[in-house]
Amino acid sequence: MDLSDIKRLRMKVGLSQTALAKKAGVSQAHIAKIESGKVDPRFSTVDRIFRCLKEEESDHCRKYMTPYIYGVQHDDSVAKAGRIMSEKGVSQLVVFRGRSVIGMITEEDLLRFSGDRSSNVDKAMSEPPPKVSGTTSADTVKDLLLEFPAVIVMEQDDAVGIITRSDLIKR
């Protein structure tokens, strides 16, 4: 590979110059100058840029996640959870306590729950779905989805996305 491949690879993986610069720890202007051939960068800079591009080229689960997570708080009512599922056209909701993922409530849970619909979601919820980082391989997530209805994508301690079976079927 040579410097002329940087722009081609950057475009292939769908990164802007700014995004690549941030990942590689250089300025956007430096990326622009490298791509246009106006500078002769150090080997360590080129190596870092190509490593970032190679990482983006990998089949990470981040590419398949839905960045918005429909959820309810643990003390919301079962009726509210059912209403949100119906309105949003989803078959499960993530259950949060504050910002922490503590469970999942699915259509099956609603059908099985024989209690009062005004009861809190935490009485009807299932175990939380597995949590993965955005760089987890799509194949690993596929294996998890054979056992679980969804996988939560985490960044540090924050849930930043969800992947369901239908998300991977589209790939």
109 and 30 belong to one structural domain: no
21 and 73 belong to one structural domain: no
The residue segments making up the domain with residue 146 are 63-169
Could you give the strand order of the β-sheet that contains 158-164, starting from the edge strand earlier in sequence? 131-133, 150-155, 158-164
Is residue 93 scored above 90 in pLDDT? yes
53 and 67 belong to one structural domain: no
User: Which of 41, 57, 73 corresponds to the end of one domain?
Assistant: 57
Is residue 89 scored above 70 in pLDDT? yes
Task: Give the pLDDT score at 15.
Answer: 79
89 and 116 belong to one structural domain: yes
48 and 92 belong to one structural domain: no
Tell me how far CA of residue 105 lies from CA of 27, 71, 74, 85, 158, in angstroms: 44, 9, 10, 10, 19
pTM greater than the 0.75 cutoff: no
116 and 47 belong to one structural domain: no
Tally of CA atoms within 13 A in the half-sphere of 114 that contains its CB? 0
Average pLDDT, the chain: 90
132 and 149 belong to one structural domain: yes
157-163 mean pLDDT: 92
The CATH code of the domain that includes 24 is 1.10.260.40
Q: What is the C-alpha separation between 150 and 144, in angstroms, rounded? A: 8
The CATH code of the domain that includes 146 is 3.10.580.10
Count: domains in the chain: 2
Could you count the other beta carbons within 10 Å of the beta carbon of residue 37? 9
* Residue 124 binned pLDDT confidence (cut-offs 50, 70, 90): very high
Tokens of 154: 């985490």
